[in-house]
Structure 1
Amino acid sequence: MKIIFRKKRTWLILLLISITAASVMLMRERFQMNEVSPTVSFIENDMTNPNGTLATYLQDAVSKEADIVAGREALSESLGLWMQYAIASDNQALFEQSYEQLTTYFLTPPDPYIAWKLDAKGESHVTTNALGDDLRIIGALLQAADQWKQGREAKFATAAAISRALTQSAQQQGYLVDFHDFAGGHSTDTLSLVYVDLPALQAMEKHQMVEPGTYAKYEALLEKMPDDELFYPKTFDVVRKEYTYDDKVNLIDQLIVANHLMVTDRKPDKLISFLKKEFNTRHQLPGQYKRETRTPAVSYESSSVYGLAILLAVRSGDPKWAKQLYNHMITLRGQDSRYPGGYVFDGNTHLFDNLFPLLGEINLQKNIKK
């Protein structure tokens, strides 16, 4: 009897330990998902220049080429993502700060267009835009104008002015293209598919900032684009009407396209199934894959991949997978004790490797609260 009692007592103790551990983990997850992310503090304290612009890299460096970003230079890409976070977190004050950054530093008269890059002092030395960043910012301005009453007309006017610059200058063969040189007066023939921001284009048409039928044209471009039974092309040549693929597939690009497809009838089911299988098998998602063999091309992980995958999981109605991705993603955060909220490796980080995770995190948090 004593032996049986001891066995029962041991079993009960082990059961209680398991329940306690599970409860602690659940409480930890709930705490993390309901608190303001420490990544916000990291961005505000360590990735913000004295003038308020967002630095691209944590460590300073000198840009050796005009078309390559370095050090504390600021990107329109970062501004747009930060605006999206402000909207998702319903932080109007933060959005107003971002809007001031846009109008003070990034808008270049007389058109005005958005300079894609600034130096750390907020001065522009480039004469080109970046379409994907422009559409993201326009979409954010329109969403903010719909979400908050304060400054609504000014935001509509700014969005309309940027839209005019794009439609009047940055089009080839009836398509918006990756960039236009506003000083040289020439545009590329390439449209990167990651730049086809359908939600932004839909909002622009709704507010009569593009011609009727514009959204349908770009929706058809994504719905009818080919694939190799898994991965999407990288670019569309608007003159030759040809799609091109990369031999090495960047998952960030694939996931951005997949997220845009979620508003169409063509869902990225094959990519989602592949990524879920890869994550379950490898317990991680490498940043790049070899297109032909469907095998990892690199050993590193990208926090941006997980942030975008979380967004895709939330939008596809799969909160379980989203939480699994989130729980793995935050193991990459705070590995450098000097920057507890940052995704910092070898003493440095790129800002989008913090902004995309932040967007995934806030959208998962909102989904859980519903």
Structure 2
Amino acid sequence: MKTVQQTVEEKYTNSDGNLHAYPLDQNSQYLSESIGLYMQYLVLVEDEKNFEIQVDRLVSDYLVEQNELVFVRWVLYEDATVNALIDDVRIIASLNEASELFNQPAYEKLSSRLEETISRVQQSDGIHVDFYDWTFRMPAERITLSYLINDYSATNKTKQLLISLDDTAVFFPEYYDVKYQKYIESKEVHLIDQLLIAINRQDMGHGSSTFENWVTREWKSNGKLLGRYDRQTQEATVNYESLAVYYYLSLYFNKINEPAFAKEVMEQAEKIATAKTLADTHFFDYIQYQMLLEKNTKK
């Protein structure tokens, strides 16, 4: 049986050593999301050798230095002049963990430079924002709330956005518009975003009973959750299950002390992760499913 690392090398890696989004499709995108997630996995399984390879790829291909600041391109082989906060945060967290795990101070130094860049320029009115355009020297005007994961020390003003949002409705707003100082809701909600926001709030000590009750009820009733839902009707708008959704759903159930449900989620994920589905799976879903398996194995 092939290891995850062998599968990644054979199906998701081009001749330059960079990760593409879809297996065996070198024309699919090369995302900082992918390298950040893979770095997370490699830390989880304590694979020092392959982690070092990914750091080398990060430094040689993804990093852009401007005026003593260092940015991470959100995509390779395209004319990208912006980064993506969520991807940078994953990379920063992975570098910090790897620095301690593998006794490599250079990783912490790199993470500090990336964090300093975000702190210096990727804010608007004291709030961290989605991206920064280093060509125009312009930060974004909104923050995606699911980006505010606990791995990153966001400003208190940014964290307050998660704490202060209206959590009386089932679904959370997805964005905060910094310019107009208001929360923005989408008519169709992505469950990954909703789960991440719920997890973020839980980590900050602010559970969301309305969302928790809905998720628990849906799981009990249907034994599955789908990828997207209508905000008003709370009915699914797609008919597919997502391995990435189940990764975050498992984390969420463990956060709210529902380990039995988390175990059921793991079992459902294994049912849908057939050889056929994995053969066409986006790297985002593939690697998060592998992290789900690994975390359950370590229990």
Counterpart check, 1:134 vs 2:91: no
Alignment match, 1:109: 65
Alignment match, 1:195: 147
Alignment match, 1:177: 129
Alignment match, 1:245: 185
Distance 1:38 1:333, change over 3 A: farther
- Distance (Å, rounded) in 2 between the aligned partners of 1:38 and 1:270: 40
- Distance (Å, rounded) in 1 between the aligned partners of 2:264 and 2:21: 28
Shift of the alpha carbon at 1:259? 2.1
Number of residue equivalences: 297
- Distance (Å, rounded) in 2 between the aligned partners of 1:228 and 1:288: 20
SS of aligned partner of 2:272: coil
In structure 2, give the amino acid aligned to 1:289. Answer: Y
Distance 1:51 1:268, change over 3 A: farther
- Distance (Å, rounded) in 2 between the aligned partners of 1:227 and 1:293: 17
Distance 1:117 1:305, change over 3 A: same
Counterpart check, 1:359 vs 2:291: yes
In structure 1, give the amino acid aligned to 2:53. Answer: Q
Q: What percentage of residue pairs aligned between the two structures are identical?
A: 27
Distance 1:299 1:133, change over 3 A: same
**Aligned-pair RMSD on alpha carbons?**
2.1
In structure 2, give the amino acid aligned to 1:81. Answer: L
Superposed CA offset, 1:267-291 (max 9, x none):
2443233223212222221111111
Alignment match, 2:17: 52
Counterpart check, 1:164 vs 2:104: no
Distance 1:266 1:285, change over 3 A: same
Which residue among 73, 82, 90 is the counterpart of 2:29?
Answer: 73
SS of aligned partner of 1:144: helix
Shift of the alpha carbon at 1:136? 1.3
- Distance (Å, rounded) in 2 between the aligned partners of 1:93 and 1:179: 31
- Larger Rg computed on CA atoms: 1
Superposed CA offset, 1:180-216 (max 9, x none):
11112222211000111232227xxxxxxxxxxx2x3
Structure 1 length normalisation: TM-score?
A: 0.75
In structure 1, give the amino acid aligned to 2:59. Answer: T
Counterpart check, 1:343 vs 2:293: no
- Distance (Å, rounded) in 1 between the aligned partners of 2:159 and 2:124: 18
- Distance (Å, rounded) in 1 between the aligned partners of 2:139 and 2:203: 28
Equivalence map 1:78-89=2 (5 Å): 78-89=34-45
Q: Which sits farther off after the overlay, 301-310 or 94-103?
A: 94-103
Shift of the alpha carbon at 1:48? 1.6
Which residue among 96, 105, 117 is the counterpart of 2:52?
Answer: 96
Structure 2, unmatched stretches of 5+, are none
- Distance (Å, rounded) in 2 between the aligned partners of 1:294 and 1:37: 40
Superposed CA offset, 1:293-350 (max 9, x none):
11111111111111111122233333211111111111222341xxxxx624xxx321
Equivalence map 1:229-240=2 (5 Å): 229-240=169-180
